[in-house]
Structure 1
Amino acid sequence: MPSFLRSLFLTALLGCAFATPAARAQDGRQQPAQGAPAATPQDGGIIVSGRLGEKSKLSPLPGSVNKVSRDVATDAHQFVRCLDGIPANLRRPIVEGHVRDPDTQEALDKLILTNTACYPRLFRPMLHMTSGYYGACNPAQAGIRSGQTNAEASAHELAASIQVDMSICRSTYDRGAIIEDTFLTQAPHFMLMRADTLDREVVDRFRARETQRGKHRSPMDRRYYDTVSCMVQLEPEASVRLIRAAPGSERETQLRMQILERTGLCTGNAKNVRVDPPQFRTYIADAVYHWALAAKNVETLIPAA
């Protein structure tokens, strides 16, 4: 049966935008969370506003897929917590590559295979499938969809019950949890600020790095990442605080809502933007890490072995 390895994420997407700088990045202790004042436009800047305390936007994923997404995200964080460190020669390609980059896939596959006792619900594939299996996708079945073929529909024949496996790639979540762990351990007090993400030199460095590693992105992934990196650019502090919040916590929900409410410019002010919380967190972590590299003007946050 065909398998749709999906990364369903945002329902309305556009590109990035720039505004007027504010304060600089800080490596001191994290500032306490503040309210959500509306930004004031300066020199043709943008107006963004948001509200905290609202109910979380619904996930665009079907119910069964949404549950698997949460479970796989939980497994990924459990895996990282169980590890007794990650060698730099594996961590760096996982964190700073792309999930479709062969080097990234090889590193993640090796990390999982050398730490199988830590990996929840490990699926052992058939022998001929083992090469790079855990880094390339490592699919988790997320449901079955029934329907009929186009030919059957056009011929007005009795609908045949075909079943399509719906799967999600665990490797995306595993990599996201490792990115979070890297940022939290290597930049525990760093706060990304709008003055950084809106600084032209920082933006140029961010784009240059993304041009190199982004060559592995699919068109859909490109739209997702461009949108989320735009959100981080406009709401860097909330984005950092989100990945410092416990996964699935009320604090995470509040910060996610704040980011979505304040970054309409990134989605063309779409009225109906829904996200899958675990996948949104993964994309936010990836964008935060690479904005931090650009802001610090360093090649990596990962110390050499």
Structure 2
Amino acid sequence: MLPLLRSLFFATALVGAATTASAQDGQDGSLSSGNDIVVTGKLQEEAPRRPLQPETARTSKAFASDGGIFARCLNDSSLDLQRTVVEGHVRDKKTQYALDRLIRSHRGCYPRMHRPNRTSIGYFGICNPEMAGATAGYTDAISGKADFQSEAVVCRAPYDRLALVEEVYRIYAPHFMLTPADTLNRDVIARFRAREAVRGKYRSPMDRRFYDTVSCMVQLAPEESVRLLRAPSSSAKETQLREAIIAKTAYCTGNAENVSVDPPQFRGYLADAVYHWTLAAKNIETLIPRT
């Protein structure tokens, strides 16, 4: 049996992945390996996570849409900065500063750009926070108070980076099809792991769990994963392919009965995994041409 990348992915796995309180906090999970299967993540079942509140889900969708607009507007400008963003990790300082410079130098491309009076270097690449609020229950029309209110700080930076990864893949690998012959090849797997060993040192425990799980999904359903990236965002085709991938790759989720994901974040993680599986399959360092 060839090695597979696996991480448990229980219900609502991607919920909150781009919030400052979840994706960037926590303790490292353990790594255990057998003769031919690498399992990453904690193997005990966790308490179920609450689904995204409607307002937060809408915020996630809006950030993903804005990131796509920004990425498409860049075209082939500032390729060196684009390469640093795409090949890096959102928590790597070099990646953060490159994304910050891209946004500042292409502010006309960036939807709803909110710039505080004072921003430190790297501000737009480190987090670029916005508030996502949610209310529920009876609301008093006079006082404006509701039975339930909550707010979360959500970072736009992860959405912007992942949107750029997807756009780069669309431009520079428009006809490439990743296949099981690629993702189950020992040499390709070794190259994929070697790249992730470098990038992975920046991952938080939750980010590690999500990425390992989606990477496993791409490994077992590579063609469906590529087709999803080529399907319009929020389309019926995207939904169909997302459900097909999750159903086909139950191994990657520990055969969990219910797997619920935030579609924009799932697509972003999928784009990142497809991109790096493609580099491993082609045995190249980047898809972006050198200037």
Fold shared, TM-score > 0.5 on shorter chain? yes
Structure 1 pair 245–66 and aligned structure 2 pair: CA distance change class (3 A): same
Mapped to 2, the partners of 1:123 and 1:285 lie a distance apart of 27
Quick check: 1:61 aligned with 2:52?
yes
Q: 1:276 to 1:16 in 2, by over 3 A?
A: farther
Q: What is the aligned partner in structure 1 of residue 122 from structure 2?
A: 132
Distance in 2, Cα, partners of 1:145 & 1:204 = 47
1:96 aligns with 2:82: no
Q: Does structure 1 conserve the Cα–Cα contact (< 8 Å) formed by 2:228 and 2:241? A: yes
Query: Are 1:301 and 2:291 an aligned pair?
Result: no
Higher-Rg structure is 1
Q: Relative to structure 2, which stretch is displaced further, 256-265 or 164-173? A: 164-173
User: Residue 229 of structure 1 aligns with which residue?
Assistant: 215
Q: Is the 8 A contact 2:131 2:153 kept in 1?
A: yes
User: What secondary structure sits across from 2:115 in the alignment?
Assistant: coil
- Find 2:180's aligned residue among 179, 191, 194: 194
**TM-score computed with the length of structure 1 as normaliser:** 0.74
How far has the Cα of 1:167 moved from its partner?
A: 1.9
**Following TM superposition, by how much is the alpha carbon of 1:84 offset from its aligned partner in structure 2, in angstroms?**
4.3
Paired amino acid for 1:172: P
1:90 Cα deviation from its structure 2 partner: 0.4
2:73 matches 1:82: yes
Separation (CA, whole Å) in 1 of partners of 2:77 and 2:282: 23
Q: In structure 2, what is the equivalent of residue 211 of structure 1?
A: 197
Alignment of 1:250 onto 2:236: yes
Q: Scaled by the length of structure 2, what TM-score is found?
A: 0.78
Aligned-residue offset at 1:60: 2.9
Contact 1:16–1:230 under 8 Å retained in 2: no
Does the 8 Å contact 1:7/1:168 carry over to 2? no
- Identity among equivalent positions (%) equals 56
Displacement of 1:81 after TM fit?
A: 2.2
Question: 1:99-142 CA distances to partner (integer Å, 9 max, x unpaired)?
Answer: 00101001100000001111111011231x33211000111211
> Residues 231 and 87 of structure 1: is their aligned pair in 2 closer, same or farther, counting only changes over 3 Å?
same
Q: For the residues of structure 1 that align with 2:135 and 2:55, how far apart are their CA atoms?
A: 11
Instruction: Work out whether residues 183 and 219 of structure 2, in 8 Å CA contact, stay in contact via their aligned partners in 1.
Output: yes
How far apart, CA to CA, are the structure 2 residues paired with 1:196 and 1:205? Answer: 11
CA distance in 2, matches of 1:141, 1:117: 23
**Could you tell me whether the CA contact under 8 Å between 2:54 and 2:134 is conserved in 1?**
no
User: Which residue pairs with 1:273 in the alignment?
Assistant: 259
Runs ≥4 in structure 1, deviation > 3 angstroms?
14-17, 161-165
Distance, in Å, in 1 between the alignment partners of 2:258 and 2:20 is: 24
Secondary structure, aligned partner of 1:5: coil
Q: For structure 2, list consecutive stretches of 5 or more residues without a partner in the other structure.
A: 1-18, 24-29, 34-49, 137-146
Q: Which of residues 167, 170, 174 is equivalent to 1:184?
A: 170
Shift of 1:88: 2.0
Q: 1:110 to 1:184 in 2, by over 3 A?
A: same
Partners of 2:220 and 2:212 lie apart in 1 by 12
Aligned residue number for residue 122 of structure 1: 113
User: How many Å separate the matches in 2 of 1:126 and 1:258?
Assistant: 46
Contact 1:225–1:283 at 8 Å: present in 2 too? yes
Offset of 1:171 from its aligned partner? Answer: 0.8
Specify the code of the residue in structure 2 equivalent to 1:279. Q
The 2-side partners of 1:110 and 1:290 are apart by 24
SS of corresponding position for 2:259:
coil
- The one of 131, 141, 151 equivalent to 1:141 is 131
Q: Does 1:5 align with 2:20?
A: yes
- Distance change in 2, residues 1:166/1:108 (3 Å): same
For 1:240 and 1:173, locate their aligned partners in 2 and report how far apart those are by CA, in whole Å. 19
Letter in 1 for 2:248: R
Is residue 286 of structure 1 aligned with residue 272 of structure 2?
Answer: yes
What is the CA–CA distance in structure 1 between the aligned matches of 2:22 and 2:221, rounded to whole Å?
23
Aligned residues of 2:130 and 2:154 also touching (Cα < 8 A): yes
Return closer, same or farther for 1:136/1:182 CA change in 2, 3 Å cut-off: same
Aligned position for 2:7: none
Cα offsets for 1:210-251 (capped at 9, x unmatched): 000110000110000000000000000000011111111111
